[in-house]
A and B are shown apart, each in its own frame.
Chain A
Amino acid sequence: MTSGSPDIKRQKIEDDDNMKVEPAESSESKQTVQELMRMYYGKLFPHQAMYRWLAYGNDSKHPQADAGFFQKREFCFTLDGDIFVRYQSFKDGNDLKEALKARCPSKIDIGPVYSCNPQDRLKFGASFVPVERELVFDIDLTDYDEVRTCGKGGHICTSCWPLMAVAVQIIDRGLRADFGFQNILWVYSGRRGIHCWVCDPSARKLTDEQRSCVANYFAVYKGHENDKAKLALGAGGAALHPAVQEAVDMLMPNWEANILPKQRLLEDESMCQSVLKYVPDQELAKSVLEQWNAPLPTSLAKKMSGLDINVQRWRMLQNAVALKISEVKKQSALHKQLSRCLIEIVLAFSYPRLDMEVSKKMNHLLKAPFCVHPKTGKVCVPIDPQHAFDFDPEGVPTVHTLLKELEQIQDAVGDQSELWKKTAMAEFVKLFQEAFLDSCAAAGRSEVLTRSRTYASKPDFSF
């Protein structure tokens, strides 16, 4: 038997349970999306770019390249009726294209590279094992439900996108500066989340244990306990680990500029309560609440005029905490708690919430970029991490809009090849190629070349 992971199925099935059908989804029925898919795969899906990515420089140009490398990669197709077809593999981009056109999967997942072609897995028995895989991260807005006011479940809008954008910033910085990774792809998952693919050769070869350690490094938010977010911050009071400090430094400006006003956290009564739970002194929390509910004192009115009410209330909380800190003894436990409580609030409400299981295992499947989300019809397009805040999840091209564009172009006379270049797809494929693929392929090539050098310099005499 293979080590097929049933967790993946379980997880995805479960996700569907929690989805509420939204008007946007039901207007274009699922069936229609299915039918449009064939057109999409035939004319728009960037197979060649995908092949170039996942071959990592193992093309026929280098004698030492592993020509079968791409073919050892598992693809999983979800066919109509939620049928999972695992262990698919393809020779090259064209082979993939033909299969996609013929079978028209509603979803494509990418798995690991195995020790042999996954279609021959039964022949190899126990020696069929995953050998490499991008390090991946999955962040879903569903996990933020108790800290967002704009919607729940599969909901996504410009009010909660800043939570995702800041997650991109924080994780991206950590991966690059702390872990030294360079080839990182961020993708909008097509619905309510984002995916991250770390493609450096060293990242792809991490063991499961090492993947866990990277994921844990980022896991400051550890779920909920006693109706409060559990944060792994260490025993240092306001002294934070440099990486967490960096995250706080990135969150703070966003907190006041985006998250507080857009989520209206301090206007919502129940949210106010959950914010105040982090204030260690009950008396203090009570007096802050009174201040919030009372009209703005004239002494503050001038200073705070023009500010959003949420920001005003946040400033009041800041002032109150600062005042209290100056009153208590420096070495006391309360001093430590007070000096950290504002940071805790910001982290609890906006620090990235990773789906840890996805990152921990080499053989966890993850939806491919440029796949179409079966419910929304949105294309899973790459996100430029530098401009994550400018990304508009609601403006993402859908399979419908793209095909409509295509129809109009086709009516016009002119070059009929590579039509996608004239649609909204072009921008995203270009981003994929230029911001990610070019440097990624270069790293892959140099990896292949080092391999050929080591082979050449160290003849293998073992027998």
Chain B
Amino acid sequence: MNFLGNKPAAPEESRAGRKHADEHRIVRLYKDHPTCDISIDEFERLALQRLRVLKKVEDLKLRGKQDEALMTEVMTSIRDNNLEGSAIEDPMRADQLSHFILRLSYCGKPELRKWFTTQECELFRLRFIDKLKTEDDRALFLQREGLAYTAVQTSEREMVQQKMKEVLRSSGNDGDIKIEQIFKVPFISVPDLVSQRKVWLHGGFAYVGQKDLVSLVAQDFRINLSKGLASISRRWREIFPDSDQRLRPLVEGLSQRYLGPDLGAAGNQARRSDLTVANLTSVSARHFPLCMHNLMQTVRRDHHLRHQGRQQLSLFLKAVGLPLEEALIFWRSEFGPKVPGDKFDKEYAYNIRHNYGKEGKMTEYTAHSCVSITRMTGGADEHHGCPYRRMDEASLRANLATLRCEPARINEAMQKKAGGHFQLACACTFQGLHAGADLELGINHPAQYYLESRRVYDERESAGGSSKPAAIPEAGAGPS
């Protein structure tokens, strides 16, 4: 299928020999379209191979994997999925084709574009670090892709060097720091480095060291990809006329495949029609994760909740199936002592309807996942975010004790918290409250916690009278 031009396929060369030496060439900005014929089977196979890798990248990032661990797993995934071709294929060809096929599939809706761009940029970043290890490799890459970044002039160099050292020391680099090449770029070219204060800024320019070159290049990769997607999107009808019944359905369907369970959608599965204002209290005490439980208690106690807490709880309640009408009753009655009915209708009801997609943009908002909840910070009088992160150990212990969590699990949770593993701490609490029930997937979403909790209770109920049938038998009390 020749879909983007009419040039003949590139002549095949002896691949085996140059595969290793040319490995670094796989890192590229994809400025040239592929021009070759491929079968429709190969078309689909290549696309799915890449999708699996991108999905894996997303998954690992969501789990908070970083650095080495992230790199190893992604590289394994690339090999497992033959992203760089199987032994007999040209790695460049497989990689390039799959990238451009997915461009076709992901150029349409903004959220598809965003997803694809994010994952591709991350993949690019990892490969850049993995494959371009020496300065020569990187110089070659810059030359090959025609990226001419301005290096710092000798006249400026001394001052800049001094400041760069300060920047590097501030992020924990000790000892003698050697600074080689420094690039000077407008600060908007490296937003992530500016955010993290990893560059020296002066007069609107960011000074980027060799080590952070990847961020600079990644920005160009992103820009190039966005342009590419926009251009395909414009030419969509030209490439796939309505009469095309062969390739077009395949391309359109790709973005729907292998997206796996995304965390926002976990909420949809969690919808059970039995949640009402009447049983909300008992259900929340038993099945809500600590973050939501806390917010419920705060709103009970204070008859008010600051904006972010309100959002976090309201979206969660929606996700676990509290209907809009019930939600309005809940908030109105909880706020009642402080906020009179008409004031409530005027100031708060809008937001709640908005969350349910009944106002403004009419978008169905999804509940926050653990990843976004743990990232939240706030003032001292705000209660949103992840309690395992935001509370100090003493108050967290007290809280868990009130919930009657098993003391051993509380200790375990505290260790996880101290190590910065807040979701694992939450999983410990889950086990402590559910008599050690298994949690295969860990906790990634408050709605998932809720769902698992309901499942455990349901199973136990159906297993018969005993209240803790799933409890692990005491050591030594096994059948003899």
Contacts and interface: CB of A to CB of B under 8 A. Distances in A.
Contacts of A392: none
A10 B307 contact: yes
Interface string B181-215: 00000011001101111001111110000000000
A212 B194 CA distance: 10
B159 to A, nearest CB: 11
Contact of B361 (A3, A202, A239, A242): A3
Contacts of B307: 10-11, 14
B171 A234 contact: yes
Given A226-B392, A241-B170, A179 B360 contact: no
A179 B203 CA distance: 5
A222 interface: yes
A180 B205 contact: yes
A359 B206 CA distance: 20
A239 B307 CA distance: 36
27 contacts: A3-B361, A6-B350, A6-B360, A11-B307, A17-B304, A82-B346, A145-B380, A179-B187, A179-B204, A180-B205, A206-B188, A209-B191, A212-B195, A213-B194, A217-B194, A217-B197, A222-B377, A224-B377, A225-B377, A225-B389, A234-B197, A236-B171, A236-B173, A237-B172, A239-B166, A241-B171, A242-B167
B351 to A, nearest CB: 5
Given A179-B204, A213-B192, A224-B380, A240 B170 contact: yes
Contacts of A209: 191
B23 interface: no
Contacts of B350: 6, 9
Contacts of A49: none
A245 interface: yes
A372 to B, nearest CB: 22
Given A82-B346, A235-B172, A179 B377 contact: no
Interface in A229-281: 230, 232-237, 239-245
Contact of B169 (A17, A177, A222, A236): A236
A202 B204 CA distance: 10
Nearest to B186: A202
Contacts of B195: 212-213, 216-217
B166 A224 contact: no
B471 interface: no
Nearest to B350: A6
B392 A244 contact: no
A318 interface: no
B170 A239 contact: yes
B392 A6 contact: no
Nearest to B377: A223
B73 to A, nearest CB: 25
Contact of A224 (B191, B306, B378): B378
A241 B391 CA distance: 29
Contacts of B379: 143, 145-146, 223-224
Nearest to A181: B204
B357 to A, nearest CB: 11
B196 to A, nearest CB: 8
A323 interface: no
A210 interface: yes
A143 B350 CA distance: 26
B319 to A, nearest CB: 19
A179 B191 CA distance: 12
Interface residues of A, number: 48
B28 interface: no
A1 interface: yes
A246 B31 CA distance: 42
A206 B188 CA distance: 8
A224 B172 CA distance: 23
Contacts of B188: 206, 210, 213
A4 interface: yes
A156 interface: no
Interface residues of B, number: 45
Nearest to B163: A242
Contacts of A202: 204
A283 interface: no
A230 B390 CA distance: 10
Interface string B382-403: 0000000111110000000000
B421 to A, nearest CB: 16
Contacts of B354: 6
A13 interface: yes
A236 B165 CA distance: 12
Given A213-B192, A213-B194, A236-B169, A146 B380 contact: yes
A209 B219 CA distance: 12
B345 interface: no
Contacts of A236: 169-173
B208 to A, nearest CB: 14
A225 B167 CA distance: 26
A17 to B, nearest CB: 7
A223 to B, nearest CB: 3
Contacts of A234: 170-172, 197
B359 interface: yes
Nearest to A236: B170
A139 B359 CA distance: 30
Contacts of A177: 202-203
A233 to B, nearest CB: 8
Contacts of B194: 213-214, 216-217
Given A180-B203, A223-B378, A236-B173, 4 more contacts: A13-B348, A145-B380, A224-B380, A226-B391
A227 interface: yes
Contacts of A460: none
B239 interface: no
B362 interface: yes
B438 interface: no
B377 A241 contact: no
A57 to B, nearest CB: 21
Contacts of A145: 379-381
Given A14-B307, A210-B191, A242-B163, A227 B380 contact: yes
A233 B351 CA distance: 36
B347 interface: yes
Contacts of B203: 177-178, 180
A275 to B, nearest CB: 15
Contacts of B202: 177-178, 180
A145 B379 CA distance: 9
A282 B229 CA distance: 57
Contacts of B200: 242
B170 A244 contact: yes
Given A177-B202, A177-B203, A241 B197 contact: yes
Nearest to B196: A216
Contacts of B187: 179, 213
Contacts of A239: 166, 169-170
B265 to A, nearest CB: 24
Given A14-B307, A216-B194, A241 B347 contact: no
Contact of B347 (A13, A143, A225): A13
Contacts of B360: 1, 4, 6
B349 to A, nearest CB: 11
A422 to B, nearest CB: 41
Nearest to A218: B197
Contact of A243 (B172, B197, B380): B197
Contacts of B166: 239-242, 245
Given A6-B350, A213-B192, A244 B361 contact: no
Nearest to A233: B170
10 A-B pairs closest in CB distance: A180-B204, A235-B172, A223-B377, A239-B169, A213-B191, A226-B392, A216-B195, A178-B201, A180-B203, A236-B170
Contacts of B377: 222-225, 230
B9 to A, nearest CB: 33
Interface in A8-45: 9-11, 13-14, 17
A13 B345 CA distance: 12
B186 to A, nearest CB: 9
Most buried by A among B188, B348, B390: B188
